[in-house]
Amino acid sequence: MEVAEKKWYVIRVVTGQEVKIKDYIDYELSRFSLDKQIEEMLVPTEKVVQIRKGKKISKEKTYFPGYIMMKADISGEILHVIKSVSNVLGFLGETKGGEPIPLRQAEVNRMLGKVDELAISGEQINIPFSIGENVKVIDGPFNGFTGTIDNVNEEKRKLEVMVKIFGRKTPLELSYMQVEKI
Mean pLDDT over all residues of the chain?
Answer: 84
Closest CA to 37 of 2, 68, 6, 1: 6
Contact 37, 71 (CB under 8 A): no
The better pLDDT of the pair 2, 34 is held by: 34
Q: Quick one: 36 exposed, middle or buried, by C-beta within 10 A (0-12, 13-18, 19+)? A: exposed
Contact 107, 142 (CB under 8 A): no
Q: Say how many residues make up the chain.
A: 182
Give the pLDDT band (50/70/90) at residue 5: confident
pTM over 0.85: no
What domains appear along the chain, each with residue ranges and CATH number? 7-125 (3.30.70.940), 134-181 (2.30.30.30)
The C-alpha atoms of residue 71 and residue 7 are separated, in whole angstroms, by 5
The better pLDDT of the pair 88, 116 is held by: 88
Closest CA to 103 of 14, 4, 8: 8
The better pLDDT of the pair 167, 127 is held by: 167
**pLDDT at site 113:** 74
Assign 82 to helix, strand or coil.
helix
pLDDT in tens, 47-68: 777 777 767 788 888 888 999 9
Contact 130, 149 (CB under 8 A): yes
**pLDDT at site 1:** 45
| Average pLDDT, integer, range 154-172 | 90
pLDDT in tens, 140-154: 889 999 999 999 988
